[in-house]
């Protein structure tokens, strides 16, 4: 455990754990809404924020947060109002965001494509004290929203139409989800990089839903996977000279494969467990119900 002696490793591990918690916590609602690739889109838009941060010599993390929140709100508005051309508008937003990032960072006096690479693929060992502060504040916001409003967000993500009839402010909750996703992207940016952010939002959830039967269990398993792979990837990259971001993502996919392989026998055992209940239900489904008798006995 000698890696804990280094300040840069302590910062890296703290950032990694926070990402392991927050990314699946938001991702579960995105997966439920079938917007699994939204994180990817926000990641592209966040690049413009990073570029602007260098150009204006602002903190790239806070600038990326600002721009990706604006981008996420715009995406949500396109989802409401855009109908047939929605996908084209989203594509323009994504590629515009990416091109903007490359442009701004090259215009900046201190910026170069090398700086951009550290945001694209993560750069855990260069996480600074001010980065850690920003990551902690942003992660606290994400945890507060995703855990505090889990029932409301679950209802909206599961059945938007029904949620509206319960009187929940569906649009506000949708906007909040988009903003929280944008904040998570910037939290994860330094750890796994903007291009791999979406993997940490989606893959732990996909892995967890192979074995989870309830939303609560899936939520907990996804976060456990997230934290395990981010710590595992960070420590691996300390001992072996491998990029942490890529290691974390490959470990996540490994977890998905293992859990998928485990899921099939587990499902078979559960099916055997409930088989007794099903056989008692069968005769009722074959019987002719009483109220249909009049219609069936026709004397012509």
Partner 1 sequence: MTEPVVSLRGVRADLGSRPVLRGIDLTVRRGEVVALLGANGSGKSTAVRSIIGQVQTGAGEIRLFGADRRRFRDWHRVGYVPQRTTAAGGVPATVTEVVSSGRLSRARFGVLRKADHAAVRRALDLVGMADRAKDSVDALSGGQHQRVLIARALASEPELLIMDEPMAGVDLGSQEVLAHTLREQVSQGTTVLLVLHELGPLEPLIDRAVVLRDGCVVHDGPPPMAVGQHALPGHDHVHPHAPAGSEPFRTGLLS
Residue 154 touches partner 1, criterion: CB under 8 A = yes
CB of 142 to partner 1, least distance (A): 18
Measured from the CB atom, the residue of 113 and 169 that comes closer to partner 1 is: 169
Q: Which residues of 194-209 are buried (b: 16+ CB within 10 A; e: fewer)?
A: bbbbbbbbbbbbbbbb
Region from 26-34, 109-117, 136-144, 229-237 binding partner 1, contact rule CB under 8 A: 26-34
In terms of C-beta density within 10 A (0-12 exposed, 13-18 middle, 19 or more buried), how is residue 70 classed? middle
- What lies within 8 Å, CB to CB, of 42 at 6+ separation is 68, 71, 72, 75, 181, 182, 185, 197
CA distances from 261 to 7, 203, 241, 265, 268 (A): 39, 15, 30, 8, 12
DSSP strand E in the chain: where? none
Residue 85 touches partner 1, criterion: CB under 8 A = no
Measured from the CB atom, the residue of 5 and 292 that comes closer to partner 1 is: 292
Among 155, 178, 188, 201, binds partner 1 (CB under 8 A): 155
CA distances from 13 to 75, 220, 226, 237 (A): 32, 20, 13, 11
Residue 21 touches partner 1, criterion: CB under 8 A = no
Residue 285 touches partner 1, criterion: CB under 8 A = yes
Residue 289 touches partner 1, criterion: CB under 8 A = yes
User: How many angstroms separate the CA atoms of 281 and 278, rounded?
Assistant: 5
Among 46, 138, 168, 203, binds partner 1 (CB under 8 A): 168
User: How many angstroms separate the CA atoms of 228 and 21, rounded?
Assistant: 10
Region from 64-72, 121-129, 239-247, 276-284 binding partner 1, contact rule CB under 8 A: 276-284
Region from 12-20, 72-80, 136-144, 154-162 binding partner 1, contact rule CB under 8 A: 154-162
Among 5, 7, 34, 239, binds partner 1 (CB under 8 A): 34
Residue 279 touches partner 1, criterion: CB under 8 A = no
Cα 279 versus chain centre, distance: 40
Among 6, 128, 151, 257, binds partner 1 (CB under 8 A): 151
Catalog residues that contact partner 1 under the rule CB under 8 A.
Answer: 28, 31-32, 34, 149, 151-152, 154-155, 158-159, 161-168, 205, 209, 212-218, 274, 277, 281, 284-285, 287-292, 294-295, 298-300
């Amino acid at each position: 455990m000698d890696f804990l002696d280094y300040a840069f490793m302590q910062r890296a591990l703290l950032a990694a754990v926070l990402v392991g918690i927050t990314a699946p916590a938001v991702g579960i609602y995105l997966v439920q809404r079938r917007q699994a690739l939204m994180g990817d889109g926000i990641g592209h838009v966040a690049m413009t924020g990073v570029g602007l941060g260098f150009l204006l010599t602002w903190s790239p993390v806070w600038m990326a947060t600002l721009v990706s929140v604006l981008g996420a709100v715009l995406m949500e508005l396109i989802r409401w109002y855009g109908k047939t051309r929605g996908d084209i508008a989203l594509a323009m937003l994504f590629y515009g965001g990416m091109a903007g990032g490359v442009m701004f960072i090259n215009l900046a006096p201190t910026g170069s494509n090398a700086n951009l690479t550290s945001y694209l693929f993560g750069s855990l060992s260069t996480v600074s004290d001010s980065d850690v502060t920003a990551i902690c504040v942003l992660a606290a916001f994400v945890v507060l929203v995703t855990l505090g409003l889990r029932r409301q967000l679950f209802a909206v993500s599961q059945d938007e139409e029904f949620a509206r009839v319960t009187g929940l402010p569906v649009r506000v909750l949708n906007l909040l989800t988009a903003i929280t996703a944008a904040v998570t992207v910037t939290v994860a940016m330094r750890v796994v990089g903007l291009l791999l952010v979406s993997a940490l939002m989606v893959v732990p959830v996909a892995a967890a839903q192979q074995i989870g039967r309830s939303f609560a269990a899936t939520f907990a398993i996804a976060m456990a996977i997230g934290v395990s792979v981010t710590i595992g990837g960070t420590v691996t990259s300390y001992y072996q000279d491998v990029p942490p971001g890529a290691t974390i993502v490959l470990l996540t996919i490994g977890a998905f494969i293992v859990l998928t392989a485990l899921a099939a026998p587990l499902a078979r055992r559960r099916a055997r467990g409930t088989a007794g209940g099903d056989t008692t239900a069968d005769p009722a489904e074959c019987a002719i119900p009483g109220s249909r008798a009049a219609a069936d006995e026709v004397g012509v």
